[in-house]
Amino acid sequence: MSSLPLEGKRAVVTGASKGIGRSIAFAFAREGATLALVARGHDELEALAREIREAGGHAEAIPADVTNAEQVRRMADATHAALGGVDILVNCAGAAESHDFPRHPDELWHRMLAVNLTSVYYVCRAFVPGMITLPSARIINVASIAAKTGGRYIAAYTASKHGVLGLTRALASELVRYNITVNAICPGYVDTPMTEASIANIAARTGSTQEQARAALELTSPQKRLIAPDEVAAVALFLARDASYGITGQAINVDGGAVMY
């Protein structure tokens, strides 16, 4: 028996070049998965693939903008050519922007839904036809605790993440007959470049320092801290393993107890 739980598994990770996606990519590589790494930035993606290969893993960089249906189709074709199929699909590409609602720009609304929700639809639509031919497969969508609750100034982001959770549950119901599990991970604020950008935005809008803005985000968790990307990756890793087969249609919080349902 292999000592690597994901040896022989082929995995796609979108949003792989930084933050949570990067941590998930490394976690999967350490457990033996062969990876297709997807993000818009070619150079960052190539550097990550090279780093994984130098550490003894297997990874291919396949750049694509997952909000573009045609680019997703080409990315899926390139992934199948490189890997021969996909056993595990991780939708991690995402963005977070905020704005007060009375003056909310339409462009922001459409951008948040495109990056956080429509991309998940495009990527799942591209890979599910191949996944249903396999003995079993996994889809893991990185959502947010905003998929379960509301928040001030994040109407578009919250709506998009609620949509990810709805899509997760719909696909879990439909794909269970093909032995495909579909689950969501719902992190709180995670210590990533995306959160750093949010901290800078909060500081600029409120006149606080970045240290004060960071402390305010930390206080949203009962543990009074930001979540580490590796903590989210650990949950993704469990959901990718054979031992998680009985778990589908679920939304697992990684938020220090901020949302308890």
In this structure, what CATH number is given to the domain that contains residue 241?
Answer: 3.40.50.720
Tens-level pLDDT at each residue, the chain (261 residues): 458 999 999 999 999 999 999 999 999 999 999 999 999 999 999 999 999 999 999 999 999 999 999 999 999 999 999 999 999 999 999 999 989 999 999 999 999 999 999 999 999 999 999 999 999 999 999 999 999 999 889 999 999 999 999 999 999 999 999 999 999 999 999 999 889 988 888 888 888 999 999 999 999 999 999 999 999 999 999 999 999 999 999 999 999 999 999
Residues 178 and 248 both lie in one domain: yes
Whether residue 260 lies inside any domain: the answer is no
Residues 110 and 219 both lie in one domain: no
Residues 74 and 119 both lie in one domain: yes
Biggest distance spanned by C-alpha atoms of the chain: 59
Residues taking part in catalysis = 157
- The parent domain of residue 123 ranges over 10-188+228-252
- Cα 248 from Cα 261, distance rounded (Å): 16
Residues 219 and 182 both lie in one domain: no
Can you give the C-alpha Rg of the chain in angstroms? 18
Residues 100 and 18 both lie in one domain: yes
Q: CB–CB of 124/76 below 8 Å?
A: no
Q: Give the per-residue pLDDT at 202.
A: 83
Residues 126 and 210 both lie in one domain: no
Residues 247 and 140 both lie in one domain: yes
Q: Give the per-residue pLDDT at 3.
A: 83
Residues 78 and 153 both lie in one domain: yes
Q: Give the per-residue pLDDT at 1.
A: 41
Residues 125 and 205 both lie in one domain: no
Whether residue 4 lies inside any domain: the answer is no
Q: Which residues are within 8 A (CB) of 34 and not within 5 positions of it... i.e. 6 or more apart?
A: 9, 10, 11, 58, 59, 83
- Cα 119 from Cα 91, distance rounded (Å): 8
Q: How many domains is the chain built from?
A: 2
Residues 174 and 203 both lie in one domain: no
Q: CB–CB of 112/90 below 8 Å?
A: no
Residues 45 and 165 both lie in one domain: yes
Q: Give the per-residue pLDDT at 201.
A: 82
Q: Give the per-residue pLDDT at 20.
A: 98
Whether residue 2 lies inside any domain: the answer is no
Residues 196 and 113 both lie in one domain: no
- Cα 140 from Cα 91, distance rounded (Å): 6
